[in-house]
Chains A and B, each alone.
Chain A
Amino acid sequence: MRIIKKLLTPVLALFCSVAVFSPAVFAAEEMALPQTLIKNVHVWDGISDGITKKISVLIEGNLIKKVRASDSDANADATIIDGKGSVLIPGLIEAHSHLALHGDLFQIRNEFNWMYIGAKSGAEATRMLHRGFTTARDAGGPVNGLRKVIDAGHVDGPRIYASGPVISQTGGHFDIRGLNEPNYYFLGLPDPKNFMEWSYLADGIPEVQKASREIFRKGSSHIKIMAGGGVATVYDPLDGLQFTPEEIRAIVIEAEKLGTYAMAHIYTPEAITIALNAGVRSIDHGMLIDDKTMALLKEKDAFLVPSLAVGLFTPEELAFAWPTPATKAKGARIIAGMENETLLAKKHGVKIGFGTDFFGPDRGSFALQSLEFKARAKYFTGLEILKQATSTNAAIVAMSGPMMNPYLDGPLGVIKAGAYADLLLVDGNPLDDILLLTDPKKNLNLIMKDGKIYKNQL
């Protein structure tokens, strides 16, 4: 966090020509923040159509101080980095992660414990940062604590916009009880398995209000609603509606009271329509949307966050995630809907976020995150995809507003004076070859977050 202390000495000229200094105040002092000057880089700023010629970028503290800096702009003791012609782009932003999801939810709930999940999540956060993602909007899971230890510098990882526990109705997409497990609410007892704060089951307006308020109390930056069925889960049909329009509106109101917004997991047109009319601003997944609903999405100025990379795999390859005939069939439906979704999105000019929704059980499945660039290349240009993963996603997370946004020192997702110094040096131009970003280990020469360097293989 940026600290510049400037204490000015007040001069109290109380008695004619005598100046009296208050003993409690002392002389002006400016503490110099460390600087880094990155030279010889072509900059793509997150917004423009192309890259600059070779220029220098000056970072001071955790912010970008000046783009197109000259050598003399930097202090004598600035760290100089020769970018060697790399392309400097904003740090990537993930709009739909699940950092705490390391396998089957039922297994997690019954067999793993908080500490183990925390240990794994910390390691996955570090790996995500090394894939070039300097910010992650987490779409559900107990990651508020992880966010704190990352921000405190104890664990390397991206900035986290946490949903925290998701809100689900009884029998909804995050009702992760076993089939015969009782509803503890009906028994009037606390849940002995301690959901580990994955989800709050809430039915009716008072319950969703309480659950929403509890979620924000934990420090979540926005709220995640399970507003429709899922592919991999077994008790909630894909086409079913979840929550009534009034319940969804009540949740959104709680978010709006805190200057923030709600995101929702939804696939189907009817559910999306209800959510949009209730004021949900981020529609995640959405593969089964239709033309009329996409028009409404545009009208409401909401964001659409699809995740297309599962479309790169065959059903056999996805058998680990969708093992039963029922889940396989649901999976096939949503994959089949992707082309229509992206075409409709382009037709109506809606704002599209970059979300991957890749998670455990192991580091290999988390690492599929980088494949989203390849999946999108089928439908979008490199420039469009990069905007989705930087400035558009930045606009999404900025909807958290001044009260709940943990990162208020400067904008994200752009390279300009005053923005956070979250940036990557790519070995090559991703605008021309977006697939460079599918191999971050090889092609990311430098990773900087908050002005600190986490990787330098220049």
Chain B
Amino acid sequence: MGVTNKLIVLGLGLLGSSVIFCPALFAAEEMALPQTLIKNVHVWDGTSDGVTKKINVLIEGNLIKKVRASDSDANADATIIDGNGSVMIPGLIDMHSHLCIQEGMLVGRDNYDQMAMGARTAVSMQQYLEQGFTTARDLGCNILGVAKAVNNGLLPGPRIFPAGGFLSQTGGHADTGSFNDVPGAVDDLERHAFGYIVDGKTELRKAARQNLRAGATHLKLMAGGGVASEFDPIHTTQFSVEEFEAAVEVAKDYGTYVAVHAYHDRSVNRAIDAGVRVIEHNFLVSEETIMRMKKEGVALSAQFVMSLEAFADPDSITFFNPDQKAKAKSVNAGATQMFKWARKHGLLIVSGGDMFGPAYNTRQADNMVWATKVGFTPLEIMKMGTSNAAEVLSWSGGMNPYKYGSLGVIADGAYADLNLVNGNPLQDITILNDYKDKFKVIMKDGKILKNQL
């Protein structure tokens, strides 16, 4: 965090010509923040249609001080980096992470403990940074302690916007209990704030407040089922409109918003009726619902890999039964159509992979790349993972841990989260997958994490 201390000496001319200085104040002092001047880069700033010609960008402390800086703008002792014609893009943002789910949820519950999951989360966070993802919005798990640590500089990792524990009804999508559980039973995941099983406005308010108390930046509710779920088939609608409204009210009281996991018209529309602002998944909705989302300013958080790749060939998912396979097929078809409508109607779309665990940890950018399969251009996709994402993140209002600069853009006063890429992702979006070779410099908060120039 950038701190410039300027304490101004007050001259109190109280008695004639004598000047009295208050002994508690002291002389003006300005502490020079370290600077980095990155030269010779084509900048894509997160919003424009293309890249600039070669320019310089001056970073001071943890913020971008000046885009199109001249040499003389930098201090004598600034670190100079010659970008050598690479393309500077903002640090990437994933809008649907589950940093602490590194095994299937039930394996995590039964075979490991939260300490072990914490150790694996640390590895995953490091992998995010290595892929150029400098911010992650976490949509549910026991991440609040880790988020607080990262956001206070105590652990390395992407900036985290955490929802905290999932909010799910009994038998809802985050009900990780066993078949024989009776109401009120609490399993080890729930004991550790992985998720809260709540029914009724009172319980929902309590859990929402508990999350916000621990630093949640928004709330995540499970509004429907899933393809593989044990207790909640995909056709279900979860939580009543009053329960949603209770969560939305608590969120608003904290200056933030609610996001929901929902697949179909009934659940999505109920959520929007209650004032929910972001829909995750959304794979089975009708064009009418898409149009409503546009009209009411509801954002779509898009999981391209999970819907298009994972369910492209359900017959090959050996542990799926025939019912699950059929559902997977319908999700695949529905998502393909839904994304096209979303593009057609100009929804605010952010990219969030929902990709976690060893099979997916190092494929975060693939979620963005797969958007090309349903017709999105590289420019549209890059915005999903930068400036669009930053806009939704700003809806966290007072709960935003990063209020002192903008994210997702290269602009004066933005946080110095940026990547220097060998090649132009606006022309070839697949470059994002080749981060090991093509991402030459990765910077977060003004600190260089990688420099392979």
Contact = CB atoms under 8 A, between A and B. Distances in A.
Interface stretch (A129-137, A144-152, A334-342, A416-424): A144-152
B217 to A, nearest CB: 17
A89 interface: no
Q: Is the interface of B mostly helix, strand, loop or mixed?
A: helix
Interface string A103-124: 0000000001111111111110
A120 B119 CA distance: 7
A67 B155 CA distance: 42
B182 to A, nearest CB: 18
Given A122-B122, A123-B122, A115 B113 contact: no
A292 interface: no
B120 A155 contact: yes
Interface string A157-182: 00000000000000000000000000
Interface residues of A, number: 27
A119 B121 contact: yes
B144 interface: yes
Given A118-B118, A122-B123, A145 B113 contact: yes
B120 A122 contact: yes
B111 A154 contact: no
A134 to B, nearest CB: 18
Contact of A149 (B119, B125, B154): B119
Contacts of B34: none
B142 A114 contact: yes
Contact of B123 (A120, A146, A154): A154
A143 interface: yes
A146 B155 contact: no
B122 A119 contact: yes
A263 B193 CA distance: 34
A122 B118 contact: yes
Contacts of A155: 119-120, 122-123
Contacts of A144: 113
Contact of A115 (B117, B191, B358): B117
A142 B115 contact: yes
A194 B358 CA distance: 30
Contacts of A113: 114, 142, 144-145, 192-193
Name, among A115, A146, A150, the residue most crowded by chain B CB atoms within 10 Å (CB to CB): A115
A116 B119 contact: no
A128 to B, nearest CB: 13
A116 B148 contact: yes
B104 to A, nearest CB: 14
A125 interface: yes
Contact of A145 (B112, B121, B125, B146): B112
A288 interface: no
A115 B123 contact: no
A119 B102 CA distance: 13
A119 B149 contact: yes
Contacts of A100: 115
Nearest to A361: B154
Contacts of A143: 115
Given A123-B122, A154-B123, A155-B123, A116 B116 contact: no
B111 A115 contact: no
B143 interface: yes
B420 interface: no
A149 B191 CA distance: 21
Given A112-B145, A154-B358, A194-B191, A117 B115 contact: yes
B216 interface: no
B116 A149 contact: yes
Interface string B89-128: 0000000000010100000000111111111111101000
A122 B113 CA distance: 13
A146 B120 CA distance: 9
Given A119-B155, A122-B120, A154-B123, A146 B145 contact: no
Nearest to A362: B154
Contacts of A119: 118-119, 121-122, 125, 146, 149, 155
Interface in B27-66: none
B155 A118 contact: no
26 contacts: A112-B145, A115-B115, A115-B118, A115-B142, A115-B146, A116-B118, A116-B148, A117-B115, A118-B114, A119-B119, A119-B125, A120-B118, A120-B155, A121-B118, A122-B119, A123-B155, A144-B113, A145-B119, A146-B115, A146-B119, A148-B112, A149-B119, A154-B102, A154-B123, A154-B358, A196-B115
Given A118-B117, A154-B119, 18 more contacts: A113-B145, A114-B115, A114-B118, A115-B146, A116-B154, A117-B118, A119-B121, A119-B122, A119-B125, A122-B122, A142-B115, A144-B113, A145-B112, A154-B102, A154-B123, A154-B358, A155-B120, A155-B123
Sort A-B residue pairs by CB-CB distance and give the 5 closest, nearest first: A118-B118, A122-B119, A145-B116, A113-B145, A114-B114
